[in-house]
Amino acid sequence: MTGMNGTTTTTGAGRRLRLADGTAPVLAVLAVLLVALAFTGPAYSEPAGYLALLKRAAPLMILAIGQYFVIVSGGFDLSVGSLVTAEVVIAARLIDGDEAATLWVIPFVLGFGALIGLVNGLITTQLLVPSFIVTLGMLLVLDGAVFLWTGGSPRGALSESFRMVGREGFDVPLIGQLPWSVLLLTALVVAAVLFMRGGTGRMLVAIGDNQTAVRFGGGHVERVRTLAFVLSGTSAAIAAVLLGGFAGVSAQVGDGLEFRVITAVVLGGVVLGGGRGSVVAAMAGALTLEALFSLLNLLGISGGLESTVQGVIIIAAVAYASVGRSKFRTRKGTS
């Protein structure tokens, strides 16, 4: 059978940069929306408008990174919205206007997010409760705890330095003021992309695709899945810091974020159930969603329509993923 070796066509050369499967549509939609924004709003005629958009979108995009990890490994994290609220309320209470407290409250907030993620992950992987249920339960637990603790109206206040990350920026020649949140977002994007290229990142996707294959291959399936929840909880904590700075303290700050972020991730072509999709596309989905809401706003369409739009998007995106693509595939067949 030596003749067979000659016909092997596996190319080892091509590590070209290419878009992960399912990324192209969301980027196309995003491009259309950005152009539409430029035509609609005068603010978008210069970079500052887009920077403002990025700043608004940063919390959702960061949440999308965390949600992506969970979804691509085959789960859901519904607890992020109430986790964001809880974090903001806790931070306000702990800081209570005291600048000096900021230094330890921020790490505490991040740790709390990671802890909630760890609890979600351990219950999901060790007690074998579906993550949908675990995180739904966590959503309710956090909601109730926040209400109990605050009696409906949060007390305390965030310090100026806490709010700086979400609110302010620094001056850069040519483009004007660059928001801190955009800088933070950029750093997280790079980190997420590098993580997904590494061994653990690839395991995360492989587990979402076929966890038996990973287990039989000697992988720590439970540990990696738990890590995804920890990262999601941490991303919620970071988003809370940004939102707290940007929007201030309220007991409604995280309302509905869990559904918004899942919509964003699905819009990015990440398949529910796991195993397919890229983290960049998930973030692009989040940005697309924010761009769409900005456009609707500019067009004078009521904000009340946002959840309707979200609902239509999530159904359409999943329908596209399951029907559109599979039809396309079968027609093409296998080689």
- Which burial class, exposed, middle or buried, applies to 288 when counting CB atoms under 10 A from its CB (0-12, 13-18, 19+)? buried
**Length of the chain in terms of residues written:** 335
Comparison of 221 and 241: residue with beta carbon closer to another protein: 221
Of 26, 41, 109, 63, nearest in space to 295 by CA: 41
**Phi, psi dihedral angles at 171 (to 5 degrees):** -85, 135
- Which burial class, exposed, middle or buried, applies to 199 when counting CB atoms under 10 A from its CB (0-12, 13-18, 19+)? exposed
Closest separation in Å from C-beta 5 to another protein = 6
Closest separation in Å from C-beta 214 to another protein = 5
Q: Decide if 282 contacts 185 (C-beta within 8 A).
A: no
Comparison of 145 and 193: residue with beta carbon closer to another protein: 193
Closest separation in Å from C-beta 16 to another protein = 9
Comparison of 5 and 153: residue with beta carbon closer to another protein: 5
Taking each helix axis from N to C end, the angle separating 279-298 and 180-197, rounded to the nearest 10 degrees, works out to 150
Of 281, 229, 238, nearest in space to 21 by CA: 281
Closest separation in Å from C-beta 200 to another protein = 8
Comparison of 200 and 308: residue with beta carbon closer to another protein: 200
The secondary structure element, H or E, covering residue 171 is: strand 169-172
Comparison of 153 and 212: residue with beta carbon closer to another protein: 212
Closest separation in Å from C-beta 201 to another protein = 9
**Phi, psi dihedral angles at 78 (to 5 degrees):** -85, -5
Place of tokens 């608004």: 56
Closest separation in Å from C-beta 205 to another protein = 6
Q: Decide if 70 contacts 76 (C-beta within 8 A).
A: yes
Closest separation in Å from C-beta 272 to another protein = 13
Which residues of the chain form contacts with another protein (CB under 8 A)? Answer: 1, 4-5, 7-14, 18, 199-200, 202-203, 205-206, 209-210, 212-220, 275-276, 334-335
Comparison of 19 and 305: residue with beta carbon closer to another protein: 19
Comparison of 154 and 274: residue with beta carbon closer to another protein: 274
CA distance 40 to 124: 46
